[in-house]
């Protein structure tokens, strides 16, 4: 009887541990949600500051779906879309004059590094970080725009 109870308790502990691991693996990506640019906290070196920008990340069966909307510095509409995974493969993005493909890899639970390509050539890199409390998203980017001009930006977003 003693061994049966010990085996039952050991099995229960193992099952709970495996369940916790499975839950952690399926935990929601902290970037999922809607984020609005905080222009006062953002810095645009060698680049025009957008008048507004909203980024919406949605978990789908195909990966993370990203929709970017807003108003550029010149008053034109910003409209970009992509669906990607964090596997280092190239994924198309529409609506950007500066790049047409993204390749993303997870650095840790809150940080992702993406490489941007245009016509098969590397043109920039962005590090995306979600704050520990999950309320601030920061994109740190550097690269070359479609005109060949180098830029560096730190764009800060607040979760809605």
pLDDT in tens, 33-87: 999 999 999 999 877 899 999 999 999 999 999 999 999 999 999 999 999 999 9
Q: What average pLDDT does the structure give for the chain?
A: 89
pLDDT band at 1 (very low <50, low <70, confident <90, very high): low
**Is there a contact between 38 and 156 (Cβ–Cβ < 8 Å)?**
yes
Classified by CATH at the fold level, domain 31-159 comes out as Lipocalin (2.40.128)
**Is there a contact between 117 and 103 (Cβ–Cβ < 8 Å)?**
yes
**What DSSP letter does each residue of 66-104 carry, written as one string?**
EEEEEE-TTSPEEEEEEEE-SEEEEEEEES-SS-SEEEE
- pLDDT score at 56: 98
Does the model's pTM come out above 0.85? no
């Amino acid at each position: 009887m003693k061994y049966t109870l010990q085996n039952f308790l050991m099995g229960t502990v193992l099952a709970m541990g495996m369940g916790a691991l499975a839950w952690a693996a399926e935990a929601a990506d902290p970037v999922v949600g809607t984020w609005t640019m905080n222009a006062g906290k953002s810095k645009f070196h060698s680049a025009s500051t957008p008048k507004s920008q909203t980024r919406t990340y949605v978990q789908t069966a195909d990966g993370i779906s990203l929709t970017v909307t807003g108003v550029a510095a010149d008053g034109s509409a910003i409209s970009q879309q992509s669906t990607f995974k964090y596997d280092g493969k190239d994924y198309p993005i529409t609506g950007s004059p500066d790049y047409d493909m993204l390749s993303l890899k997870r650095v840790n639970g809150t940080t992702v590094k993406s490489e941007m390509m245009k016509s098969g050539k590397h043109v920039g890199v962005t590090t995306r970080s979600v704050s520990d409390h999950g309320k601030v998203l920061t994109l740190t980017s550097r690269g070359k725009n479609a005109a060949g001009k180098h830029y560096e930006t730190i764009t800060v977003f607040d979760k809605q």
